[in-house]
Structure 1
Amino acid sequence: MDLQTMSLIAVGLTFLVYIAIAIWSRAGSTEEFYVAGGGIHPVANGMATAADWMSAASFISMAGLIAFLGYTGGAYLMGWTGGYVLMALLLAPYLRKFGKFTVPEFIGDRFYSTTARAVAVICLLMISLTYVIGQMRGVGIAFSNILNLPITLGLLVGMVIVAIYAVMGGMKGITYTQIAQYVIMIFAYTVPAIFISIEITGVALPQLGLGSTLAGSDTYLLEALDRTMTEIGFGSYTDRPGMGTYNMFLLTLSLMIGTAGLPHVIVRFFTVPKISDARKSAGYALIFIALLYTVAPAVAAMAIYNMTTTIQTGPVGEETANLPFDERPAWMDRWESTGLLAFEDKNGDGRIQYYNDANPEMAAEAEGYGWAGNELVEFDRDIMVLANPEIAQLPNWVAALVAAGGIAAALSTAAGLLLAISSSVSHDLLKGIFMPTISPKAELMAARISMLVAICIAGYLGLNPPGFAAQVVALAFGLAASSLFPVLMMGIFSKRINKEGAIAGMLVGLITTMVYIFLYKGWFFIPGTAPLSEPDGWILGINPSGFGVIGAILNFATAYIVSGMTKPTPVEIQELVENVRVPRAQV
């Protein structure tokens, strides 16, 4: 059976599972819609949380990041997983004890202000909308690239599936669907990795295969990869220049506190029966995430090894080592049609040749042999995982499994983000501020309508992403780190911070981070503007991806200064903080 047919069957079966779960777990109350009735087991919640967190960026882009960034890509592994440690220790149990439905609701009650709640909603919407653009785009790309469908049709199909199980089931339906999606994702990611590890190194566990020798050889995989990469002029794989210790530290910390402040992840800990279960859920989520994240470095190295050995030019001048264009593998031809992989035969010799222009000696020697320059003109890092089974010549059912996994990853996170958006609109804005007397039935209907509207907006942005969409994930984490994480921390651990301090802190953190990132990544909503020069123009050399830490510091500082200049926190709120923070017997 051909790859497209196999992929359609695999994805179609998974969609049937999602729809069946949605019908079975239809939400009948606002509590079931927002927090799944608060009755999800910690293990199940940990699995759903892992699926909620591991988006298309984790499934599709993680290995590509590591493959192209080298050790610097480890910042994403450390930051994203480390954030769960912060969440488990500092946020999850206390927010669960507070017993509310949403993050803005906690902020509004803790800081005794509907204005604080409204500002928190603005922060949540900014974070979630920027994040969901990438997820919905990922749905369309997965369909377009793997199933050979137009991206518009693929995205529309994804929107319909999300609408069925998210609008109908709410958090209850999303939770059980995400459990199924996690199982699909982990199999889709690890099964090809195991096959490829055995093929290259003879070791079944990819984590161990990464440090093993090539099958039938005394040469280590990383040693062979270093030699191959050096021969073609791209530098050693294991010793690449990164972003520097300073920016790597800022990026890691920004991703950590950004993870801990993501509203669609935090709300997952409101769905368990007891306070202690919230911390257990975070622990289980770390285990489930580790099953994929510890495999990512091996997938990165093995994918780029297979890719470079397929199209390796070898030492300059050895034409027999250059891949004839007409004899390129089928996977190259298919990915070229997507625009994510492209070659240009600049000297008309019918071969695929490339070298790094940063190596002037190699460039000069190449020109002496008639090479006109780097003929690998486009290689999108996002194709690493998706193309990996084809590059390794694995069976079509393995590639189809990866297709289902990539779509599951995008849909699972998109559903969580859309629910966070819907809840903030219906529960925090409508019921919490504008229509406090609305009936539960009307609120549930408003939640479903706002979910549909959010899906339409997300779909439109996915089809028509702004110029800034490529950095949308970094922006989302920066916004979460600079706006919500500090106010949640201060709300739990400081009785001194009052409503004026919280509002000022959130606004300063949000605005400064947005301005800095937009300055250096482009004001996509203002025609004719362009990003400032980078990295020379960065303030104090700070990479925009790690600026969330600076925004968080400004948030904390502003909140403490403004709180010290205004009325102290009321006594009853101080008692509330004490009650939330101090452990009780029944947890």
Structure 2
Amino acid sequence: MSVQTWTYILVGVTFTLYIGIAIYSRASSTKDFYVAGGGVSPLANGMATAADWMSAASFISMAGIISFAGYDGSVYLMGWTGGYVLLALLLAPYLRKFGKFTVPDFIGDRYYSKTARIVAVICALIVSFTYVAGQMRGVGVVFSRFLQVDIDTGVIIGMVIVLFYAVLGGMKGITYTQVAQYCVLIFAFMVPAIFISIQMTGNPIPQLGMGSTLNDGSGTFLLDKLDGLSTELGFNKYTNGSKSLTDVFAITLALMVGTAGLPHVIVRFFTVKKVKDARKSAGLALLLIAILFTTAPAVSVFARTNLINTVSEKEYSNMPVWFKNWEETGLLAFDDKNADGKIQYVADKQKNELTIDNDIMVLANPEIANLPAWVIALVAAGALAAALSTAAGLLLVISASVSHDLVKKVFNPNISDKAELWVARGSATVAVVIAGYFGINPPGFVAAVVALAFGLAAASFFPAIVLGIFYKKMNKEGAISGMIVGILLMLFYMTKFKFGWFGGGTQADWWLGISPEGFGSIAMIANFIVSIVVLQFTPEPPEYVQEIVENIRIPSGAGEATGH
């Protein structure tokens, strides 16, 4: 069977599974809709958290970035993995013990202020819409190639699917759908990686294959081969970095603390019964995430090596079918500048004739390696699972922020459970439409868009959450001021250097040499400073709030152990 036939079969089967789970697990109350009734097992929650966490950026774009950036791309691995550890150990158990559905709910109650809640809702919406734009872009990329529709149509198809199971099932439907999506995406990522590792090095473990010798009898290590190919074409050595240490540190820090402030990941720790279960599910999710994250560098090495060997100095007329298929999507383009019919793929922009979108590398990798059609189709199904699982989680955050944190907690405290559920579903519908627009008109490739969302989360939520848990004297005036300054500073920098607003600017104009992806760390520091300075000139929080903060840091059972 052809790749397209296999794609229709595998995508059709998986989508039917997701929709079936959503119908079976549909939400009948707001507690079901927001936190799956609070009764999810640690294993199921660990798998759902991993699927929620491993978005289109992890599946499609991370290995694509590493393929082109080489050593510099490792900042995404370090930042995202380290950030999850930070979230799981430092914040999740305390937030779970506080017992609130959403981050704005925590901030509104901890800082005893409707204004703090409204500011947090606005920040959550900005972060979530930025993040979900990357997911919708990922869905469009997959559909455009494998179902042979244009990217815009692909985004619309993805919108309809997500809307169906997110709006119908709420967190309950999404949780069990994400368990299935984790199984699909991890299988889809690992199978071609194992195939290609055996093909290139004879080693079935991709993580080891990346550092092994080629099985062509030359005795050359794969990474040495790639370094040689890269330098021949004028690129930096694959294993050498070109980013400044300052920017590497800033991006890594922004991704780490941004992870710890991501509302759609934090809410997952409210879906289990106990704080102990939150800790267990966090540990399980980390192990499940590590499978993909440790494989991504190997996939990027395999893809980059195969790409260079396939296209460099080759006749355009002899290019394989996969090349022509990706050209049709507009994500791969050949411009024969010297009219010799050969592809010049080099670092020199004046001479380079090949333009490659980062986001195609993982998806095209099995085709470049000439793997069976069912493996190629499997990767498409996995990429869609990764993008849709995270998009659904983000849409739930958006709908909960509107229905629970704004409508119920601010504007209409007496709203009935049934009416609140309708508001949640309505806001999710509106959110899908807006997300679709951003997916059709994205500000960049998937991982770059997602990295900006992490920067926004770092700049706004992280200081307010950390100070709210660990500093009982932190008051509402400090937290509100810090969040406003942090998010506005990050938005200003991001729009100036990414979109050319406020006079624009080039890389030479970056403040302290820090890229927009890393600037969240600077905005976060500004948030901390403003919060603490404002605190010095404003009243302490009420005694009952300080008491709450003391209590959430006391481990369960401590009273029995100490005799108090």
TM class by smaller structure: over 0.9
Shift of 1:284: 1.0
1:533 pairs, out of 499, 502, 506, with: 506
Change (3 A) 1:396 1:237: same
| Deviation readout 1:317-351 (Å, 9 max, x if unpaired) | xxxxxx12211111111111112111122222222
- The aligned runs of 1:484-499 (5 Å cut-off) are 484-499=461-476
The question of whether the paired residues in 1 share the 8 Å contact of 2:47 and 2:179 is answered with yes
TM-score (ref. length: structure 2):
0.96
1:223 equivalent in structure 2: 224
Task: Tell me the distance in 2 between the aligned counterparts of 1:564 and 1:246.
Answer: 31
1:374 pairs, out of 338, 341, 352, with: 352
Task: Tell me the distance in 2 between the aligned counterparts of 1:231 and 1:478.
Answer: 36
- The aligned runs of 1:172-191 (5 Å cut-off) are 172-191=172-191
Shift of 1:299: 0.3
2:562 equivalent in structure 1: none
1:546 equivalent in structure 2: 518
2:366 pairs, out of 386, 389, 412, with: 389
- The aligned runs of 1:345-494 (5 Å cut-off) are 345-357=336-348, 373-376=351-354, 378-465=355-442, 471-494=448-471
Secondary structure in 1 matching 2:329: coil
Query: Sequence identity of aligned pairs in percent?
Result: 62
Shift of 1:235: 3.4
- The aligned runs of 1:44-55 (5 Å cut-off) are 44-55=44-55
Shift of 1:356: 3.0
Task: Tell me the distance in 1 between the aligned counterparts of 2:518 and 2:150.
Answer: 35
Change (3 A) 1:136 1:356: closer
Change (3 A) 1:188 1:27: same
Structure 1 counterpart of 2:323, one-letter code: M
Task: Tell me the distance in 2 between the aligned counterparts of 1:470 and 1:523.
Answer: 20
- The aligned runs of 1:100-499 (5 Å cut-off) are 100-217=100-217, 218-239=219-240, 241-313=241-313, 323-357=314-348, 373-376=351-354, 378-465=355-442, 471-499=448-476
Task: Tell me the distance in 2 between the aligned counterparts of 1:285 and 1:450.
Answer: 29
Secondary structure in 2 matching 1:373: coil
The question of whether the paired residues in 1 share the 8 Å contact of 2:138 and 2:446 is answered with no
Structure 2 counterpart of 1:533, one-letter code: T
Shift of 1:512: 1.0
Change (3 A) 1:575 1:78: same
| Deviation readout 1:434-467 (Å, 9 max, x if unpaired) | 0000011111111111111111111122223357
Task: Tell me the distance in 2 between the aligned counterparts of 1:344 and 1:221.
Answer: 30
Structure 2 counterpart of 1:339, one-letter code: G
What is the total number of aligned residue pairs between the two structures? 558
Task: Tell me the distance in 1 between the aligned counterparts of 2:423 and 2:15.
Answer: 26
| Deviation readout 1:235-267 (Å, 9 max, x if unpaired) | 32222x421211101110110000010000000
The question of whether the paired residues in 1 share the 8 Å contact of 2:233 and 2:347 is answered with yes
Secondary structure in 1 matching 2:305: helix
Secondary structure in 2 matching 1:578: helix
Change (3 A) 1:153 1:356: closer
2:33 equivalent in structure 1: 33
Structure 1 counterpart of 2:315, one-letter code: P
The question of whether the paired residues in 1 share the 8 Å contact of 2:61 and 2:446 is answered with no
Task: Tell me the distance in 2 between the aligned counterparts of 1:540 and 1:148.
Answer: 44
| Deviation readout 1:269-322 (Å, 9 max, x if unpaired) | 010110111122111111111110100010000111111111233xxxxxxxxx
Change (3 A) 1:462 1:8: same
Change (3 A) 1:450 1:539: same
Structure 1 counterpart of 2:506, one-letter code: S
Task: Tell me the distance in 1 between the aligned counterparts of 2:160 and 2:84.
Answer: 31
Structure 2 counterpart of 1:169, one-letter code: G
Task: Tell me the distance in 1 between the aligned counterparts of 2:536 and 2:85.
Answer: 31
The question of whether the paired residues in 2 share the 8 Å contact of 1:70 and 1:242 is answered with no
2:63 equivalent in structure 1: 63
Secondary structure in 2 matching 1:351: coil
The question of whether the paired residues in 2 share the 8 Å contact of 1:229 and 1:237 is answered with yes
Change (3 A) 1:222 1:465: closer
1:368 equivalent in structure 2: none
Structure 2 counterpart of 1:422, one-letter code: S
Structure 2 counterpart of 1:537, one-letter code: D
Secondary structure in 2 matching 1:342: strand
Matched, 1:566 2:543: no
Task: Tell me the distance in 1 between the aligned counterparts of 2:546 and 2:154.
Answer: 51
Aligned Cα RMSD in Å? Answer: 1.6
Change (3 A) 1:467 1:395: closer
| Deviation readout 1:476-516 (Å, 9 max, x if unpaired) | 11110011011000111111111111111111111111112
Structure 2 counterpart of 1:334, one-letter code: N
Structure 2 counterpart of 1:73, one-letter code: G
The question of whether the paired residues in 2 share the 8 Å contact of 1:468 and 1:521 is answered with no
TM-score (ref. length: structure 1):
0.93
Matched, 1:583 2:560: no
Which has the higher mean CA deviation after the structures are superposed, 215-224 or 570-579? 215-224
Task: Tell me the distance in 1 between the aligned counterparts of 2:365 and 2:448.
Answer: 24
The question of whether the paired residues in 2 share the 8 Å contact of 1:258 and 1:479 is answered with yes
Task: Tell me the distance in 2 between the aligned counterparts of 1:47 and 1:470.
Answer: 22
Task: Tell me the distance in 2 between the aligned counterparts of 1:469 and 1:520.
Answer: 17
Shift of 1:544: 1.8
The question of whether the paired residues in 2 share the 8 Å contact of 1:426 and 1:450 is answered with yes
Structure 2 counterpart of 1:395, one-letter code: P
Which has the higher mean CA deviation after the structures are superposed, 504-513 or 464-473? 464-473
Which has the higher mean CA deviation after the structures are superposed, 440-449 or 195-204? 440-449
Task: Tell me the distance in 1 between the aligned counterparts of 2:442 and 2:209.
Answer: 39
Which has the higher mean CA deviation after the structures are superposed, 85-94 or 458-467? 458-467
Shift of 1:209: 0.2
The question of whether the paired residues in 1 share the 8 Å contact of 2:64 and 2:358 is answered with yes
Task: Tell me the distance in 1 between the aligned counterparts of 2:445 and 2:491.
Answer: 12
Task: Tell me the distance in 1 between the aligned counterparts of 2:69 and 2:443.
Answer: 25
Change (3 A) 1:391 1:184: same
The question of whether the paired residues in 1 share the 8 Å contact of 2:493 and 2:516 is answered with yes
Shift of 1:234: 2.1
Task: Tell me the distance in 1 between the aligned counterparts of 2:251 and 2:99.
Answer: 32
Task: Tell me the distance in 1 between the aligned counterparts of 2:487 and 2:81.
Answer: 23
The question of whether the paired residues in 1 share the 8 Å contact of 2:151 and 2:329 is answered with no
Gaps of 5+ in 1: 314-322, 359-371
The question of whether the paired residues in 1 share the 8 Å contact of 2:185 and 2:382 is answered with yes
Secondary structure in 1 matching 2:358: coil
Structure 1 counterpart of 2:235, one-letter code: F
